[in-house]
Structure 1
Amino acid sequence: MDTFFSKAILDFCIAFGVVFGGSMLAGIGSVFVFAPPAAMMIDTASRLKIWALVAAVGGTIDPMRVIESNMIEGHFSPVAQQIGFMICAFLGAHMGTELIRWLCKGAV
């Protein structure tokens, strides 16, 4: 159970970091091309959300394969773990997006 929580926390932080870091760097880059940074950051955060989820859970189709193979065999514990990892990654990506929206709310 300890490894579940450590991986879930890592998935959350990875997804959060992808969205937050990518959006911050997009804001910096938008200054160089004379685009509005806040609008660019919000747009980038929204577009990075799904990719942050994919990056956090492994970047491949393997988590879906684990769910499928274990579901067919009737082993529901690994299925629940993978779904839990995906939920934690989604929460991290969503929290990163909401933080960017909160930081940029007065500028847009």
Structure 2
Amino acid sequence: MSSRYQIEKLDEKNCDCWSVQMRSVLVHAELWKVTSGESKREVVSGDELSKWIAQAEKALAMVTLSVKPSQLNYLRHCKSAVDACKRLKNVYQPSGPVRKVSLYKKLLSLKMTEDYITNL
């Protein structure tokens, strides 16, 4: 990833911010369509196919390089940036019952600070 993109690497605490910034990085690098799945391999052919493959590899590399080492296990078997983003979304933004449990655990872990209590 180029040094001109100064975003904090993904960890378990910064997913929301990271995803917005990573999308911007990929848009700027003209790799978002490949990453989002908007541009599909099946649609391109000939010279365009080799260009698409290069973009897809670069997009996966950018996503992989933008996560902390502790998060690499989630991306170990991903073959594309689309797969990597889906996997990270499933880990950090689950839906359905898993999401409810996740939010409930987060709520239970919150504590009021003394400043908050004195300002009531």
State the TM-score, normalizing by the size of structure 1: 0.39
State the TM-score, normalizing by the size of structure 2: 0.36
Larger Rg: 2
